[in-house]
């Protein structure tokens, strides 16, 4: 029974999935990587490597998020909103970080 339910859920997910958004995200990722690669060509490509690592790490998070029912997000939205407001207020009480050395 569980296997059949999972199969129906997977078909419904693929049928209702917005493929246009996924294609746009992939195109933007590729454009961003090409731009970053060309901009960091004279250096050791460290920023490009970091970006590739973050993209690879974010793909499982994207898949996990897609699999969660949107009603779950709707139920938790007020909690997430409150947490984000608290975090934004917390930024006001942090000290500034001087990163000028890294920019030169």
Measure the CA angle with vertex 22, ends 16 and 28; round to 5°.
Answer: 165
**Structure confidence at residue 79 (pLDDT):** 96
Q: What is the pLDDT of residues 93-102, one digit of tens each?
A: 988 776 665 5
**Structure confidence at residue 1 (pLDDT):** 55
What integer best gives the mean pLDDT of the chain? 83
Q: 36, 47 in Cβ contact below 8 A?
A: yes
Q: Please, which residues have CB within 8 angstroms of residue 2's CB and are 6 or more apart in sequence?
A: none
Residue 54's pLDDT band (cuts 50, 70, 90): very high
Average pLDDT, stretch 11-33? 84
């Amino acid at each position: 029974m569980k296997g059949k339910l999972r199969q129906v859920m997977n078909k419904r997910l693929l049928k209702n999935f917005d493929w246009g958004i996924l294609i746009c995200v992939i195109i933007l990722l590729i454009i961003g990587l090409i731009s970053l690669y060309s901009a960091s060509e004279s250096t050791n490509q460290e920023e490009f490597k970091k970006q590739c690592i973050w993209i690879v790490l974010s793909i499982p998070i994207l898949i996990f998020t897609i699999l969660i029912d949107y009603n779950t997000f709707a139920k938790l939205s007020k909690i997430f909103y409150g947490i984000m407001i608290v975090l934004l207020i917390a930024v006001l009480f942090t000290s500034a970080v001087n990163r000028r050395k890294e920019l030169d």
